[in-house]
Amino acid sequence: MKHVQLGKTGPSVSTLGLGCMGMSGMYGPSDRAEGIATIRAALDAGINLIDTGDFYGMGHNEMLISEALKGINCDKAIISVKTGALRDRDGGFNGMDNRPAAMKNFVAYSLQQLGVDYIDIYRPARLDPNVPIEDTIGAIADMIKAGYVRHIGLSEVGADTIRRAAAVHPIVDLQIEYSLISRGIEDAILPACRDLGISVTAYGVLSRPDQRPLAEGRRTEQGRFSRPQPALPTRERRPEPCTRRSTAPDRRCQGRLGGADRHCLGGSAGC
């Protein structure tokens, strides 16, 4: 499996990543055993980027990953976590909370549920319109200094937000939809990532079954066409026991590391 570096300062990751959202009922019924088997098969195939969100199954996904990686060399996995989305008891989305205090609270839950003492890549899942991106990135930068996070990523944001975020702290990658059909990022977002040395972690690279002709959609501010999707939080655009290596020689993990989505990794110059 080919590996590339995320951004200028990020980790080396496989060019295919494993998105675990569908393993926690986000797309319908899911099977625990199949999810665990899929994660382990991906690692055996050389895929080391495991993508999750603390709101996938409201913690279920992180605990599933923890179980799947139990007893496996933890250094084989690079865990990327999205955060900030608020959900209700019925699984609906109630917006975003990217306040600094919320970020620090959410990371504590993720560390516990994944069973690790740091997260490789941490990112807000969407833009919170009530919180300046500088405040959110600054809070995650504080968590890097504290040793809880290694790198910062972004998800589903526009070119201006990317530049503002990168002015606060290096950003290693942007998660966003990109395919032969969904190419809106080529107008402004992809050039911004190239200028700043930020990798693009694309999803939906083979398009998706609900993709409709562009003429049926509505062009967004960032240049792509929107279409009805399962409800998600506010966004700028819609295009989704072991030891673990640590920089501190005496640090150890807390005891565990923790239908899949496929992610394609572009280099720091873009896909």
Amino acid residing at 94: N
For residue 125, give both structure tokens. Answer: 């899942």
Supply the pLDDT for residue 209: 62
In a domain? residue 270: no
In angstroms, rounded to a whole number, what is the distance separating the alpha carbons of residues 250 and 6? 27
What is the C-alpha separation between 127 and 117, in angstroms, rounded? Answer: 26
Q: Is residue 230 part of a domain?
A: yes
With 50 as the cut, is the pLDDT of residue 71 above it? Answer: yes
Which amino acid would we find at residue 236? E
The whole-model pTM stands at 0.79
What is the number of domains present in the chain? 1
Angle made by CA atoms 213, 218, 219, in degrees to the nearest 5: 100
Mean pLDDT over residues 211-233, rounded? 41
Catalytic residue among 56, 118, 148, 178: 56
Phi-psi region of 84 (alpha: psi -120 to 50; beta: other; left: phi over 0): left
Residue 203 predicted with pLDDT over 50: yes
* pLDDT score of 262 more than 60: no
What pLDDT is recorded for position 89?
87
Interatomic CA distance for residues 159 and 101, integer angstroms: 26
What pLDDT shows up at residue 25?
Answer: 79
Per-residue DSSP letter, 249: T
Run of H or E residues at 60:
helix 60-68
Instruction: Clarify whether 118 is annotated catalytic.
Output: no
Give the pLDDT confidence score for residue 210 in this predicted structure: 56
- The answer to whether residue 30 scores a pLDDT higher than 80 is yes
Q: Is residue 250 in a domain?
A: yes
- Rounded CA gap, 151 and 145, in Å? 11
Domain contains 271: no
* Residue 240 near residue 182, CB atoms below 8 Å: no
Residue 94 lies in a domain: yes
Tell me the average pLDDT of the chain: 82
d(CA 40, CA 155): 25
Indicate if the pLDDT at residue 212 is higher than 50: no
Alpha-carbon span 93 to 149, nearest angstrom: 25
Residues 54-65 have pLDDT tens digits of 999 889 999 999
CA atoms of 265 and 1, how far apart (whole Å)? 12
Q: Is the pLDDT of residue 21 over 70?
A: yes
* Pair of tokens at residue 116: 């690790």
pLDDT at 222 over 50: no
**Residue span of the structural domain in which 30 resides:** 3-265
* Long-range contacts (CB closer than 8 Å, 24 or more residues apart) made by 24-32: 24/56, 24/57, 24/60, 24/61, 24/64, 25/57, 25/60, 25/91, 26/56, 26/57, 26/230, 27/259, 32/64
Angle 122-203-61 from CA coordinates, rounded to 5°: 50
Mean predicted confidence (pLDDT) in 141-151: 98
Q: Contacts from 207-214 at CB under 8 Å and sequence distance 24+?
A: 207/179, 207/180, 207/181, 207/182, 211/181, 211/182, 214/181
Q: Residue with structure tokens 């895929």?
A: 47
What's residue 73's pLDDT?
75
Which CATH number does the domain housing residue 11 bear? Answer: 3.20.20.100
Question: The tokens 């560390």 sit on which residue?
Answer: 111
